[in-house]
């Protein structure tokens, strides 16, 4: 395989820069991965594509206000403004942060937030503009000075509305730096409708990390390294999923994040167990799915690992043909865009 095998043309005007209003008003392209057939629908019709006994798996992570501005200070008196992106907590008062510009930051330099109200000290350069920052009251810093980290392709500053629009209605566990975007379409009323047709609803947590922003820079997809992300699966969810698998009922994943978490656990244990840790499963065509039978997902960037995962589930030719149809029929793409329902 080559990364170019997962490319497609997308005119910039197809990129959704604002959410659908209301959030369940998105279009939905339904793709049969077995036959390659697809049809145009709407997200509001999703209950009609589900079956009694299905288990719908949601990712309940909550996006944090990860993007901040700080002043870099050095003992020599050097001072300049930089962006500090809080990527992941690594321990008590320690955070992995992505700084721009960040290559000249040295251990011992300080990041000053809010006109001196808070200060952190850089402890280690982790490479590629990543640094280890020691900072007390990081949660307070993000609350006071952080912004919702909209993806760069949206090409605008976040607004007050994004604080709710870029969260799922079931977001509960703070820790993500990007939303699990397939979940953005749901409303409480839609979840009630889904339960009413006999579908069980389960939650897992995968805190989406900075790897979601990293392009594949290798020629061969398999040479790319996926950044590990923190996950947690409860005993209740594990029991529900194990029962569904034993009874040969479908597991419907909402988003690539839910998919990777479930398949990671299956690869790790041979079953779904209550567990927590860091998942780094990289799903490429040829992967054998052992848990997920269907997937609700948004439209993904060309040459991205997320697009590769969808191609693994439904076949590269089928997916790219569906994407070309979506472009030709003015679907909205990426985080705030329309969605696909894919069955294998």
pLDDT digits (tens, 9 = 90+) for 173-214: 999 999 999 999 999 999 999 999 999 999 999 999 988 777
Confidence band of 215 (pLDDT split at 50, 70, 90): confident
Q: Is the pLDDT of residue 121 over 90?
A: yes
- What is the widest separation between alpha-carbon atoms in the chain? 67
Q: Is 129 left (phi over 0), alpha (psi -120 to 50) or beta?
A: left
- The pTM (predicted TM-score) of the whole model is 0.95
**Is residue 115 helix, strand or coil?**
coil
Distance between CA 280 and CA 253 in Å, rounded?
Answer: 17
Confidence band of 334 (pLDDT split at 50, 70, 90): very high
Distance of CA 234 to the CA centre of its chain: 20
pLDDT in the model for residue 92:
85
Distance between CA 170 and CA 172 in Å, rounded?
Answer: 6
Distance between CA 133 and CA 109 in Å, rounded?
Answer: 10
Domains and CATH numbers, the chain: 3-63+161-343 (3.40.1780.10), 67-145 (2.40.10.240)
Q: Which two tokens stand for residue 161?
A: 């509305």
pLDDT in the model for residue 210:
87
Q: Which two tokens stand for residue 102?
A: 């960040």
Q: Specify the DSSP class assigned to residue 4.
A: G
- Residues paired with 56 in a beta bridge: 201, 252
Distance between CA 237 and CA 60 in Å, rounded?
Answer: 12
pLDDT digits (tens, 9 = 90+) for 44-99: 999 999 999 999 999 999 999 999 999 999 876 767 899 999 999 998 899 999 99
What percent of the chain has a predicted confidence (pLDDT) above 70?
A: 99
Give 139's contacts (C-beta < 8 A, 6+ positions apart). none
Are 56 and 200 in contact, with CB atoms under 8 Å apart?
A: yes
What percent of the chain has a predicted confidence (pLDDT) above 90?
A: 91
pLDDT in the model for residue 91:
86
């Amino acid at each position: 395989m080559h990364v170019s095998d997962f490319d497609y043309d997308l005119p910039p005007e197809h990129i959704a820069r604002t959410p659908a209003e209301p959030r369940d008003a998105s279009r939905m392209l339904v793709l049969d991965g077995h036959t390659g057939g697809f049809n145009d629908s709407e997200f509001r019709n999703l209950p009609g594509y589900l079956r009694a006994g299905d288990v719908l798996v949601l990712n309940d992570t909550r996006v944090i206000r990860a993007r901040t501005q700080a002043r870099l200070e050095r003992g020599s008196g050097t001072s300049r403004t930089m962006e500090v992106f809080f990527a992941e907590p690594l321990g008590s008062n320690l955070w992995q942060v992505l700084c721009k510009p960040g290559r000249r930051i040295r251990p011992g330099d300080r990041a000053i937030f809010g006109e001196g109200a808070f200060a952190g000290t850089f402890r280690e350069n982790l490479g590629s503009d990543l640094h280890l920052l020691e900072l007390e009251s990081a949660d307070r810093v993000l609350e006071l000075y952080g912004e919702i980290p909209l993806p760069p392709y949206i090409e605008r500053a976040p607004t007050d509305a994004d604080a709710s629009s870029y969260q799922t209605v079931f977001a509960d566990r703070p820790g993500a730096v990007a939303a699990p975007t397939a979940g953005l379409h749901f409303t409480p009323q839609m979840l009630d409708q889904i339960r009413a047709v006999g579908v069980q609803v389960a939650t897992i947590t995968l805190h989406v990390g900075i790897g979601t922003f990293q392009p594949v820079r290798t020629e061969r997809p398999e040479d790319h390294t996926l950044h590990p992300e923190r996950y947690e699966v409860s005993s209740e969810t594990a029991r529900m999923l194990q029962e569904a698998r034993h009874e040969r009922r479908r597991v419907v994943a909402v988003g690539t994040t839910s998919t990777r978490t479930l398949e990671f656990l299956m690869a790790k244990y041979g079953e779904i167990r209550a567990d927590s840790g860091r998942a780094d499963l990289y799903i490429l065509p040829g992967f054998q799915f052992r848990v997920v039978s269907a997937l609700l997902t948004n439209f993904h960037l060309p040459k991205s690992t997320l697009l590769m995962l969808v191609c693994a589930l439904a076949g590269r030719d089928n997916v790219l043909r569906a994407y070309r149809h979506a472009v030709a029929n003015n679907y909205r793409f990426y985080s705030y865009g329309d969605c696909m329902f894919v069955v294998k």
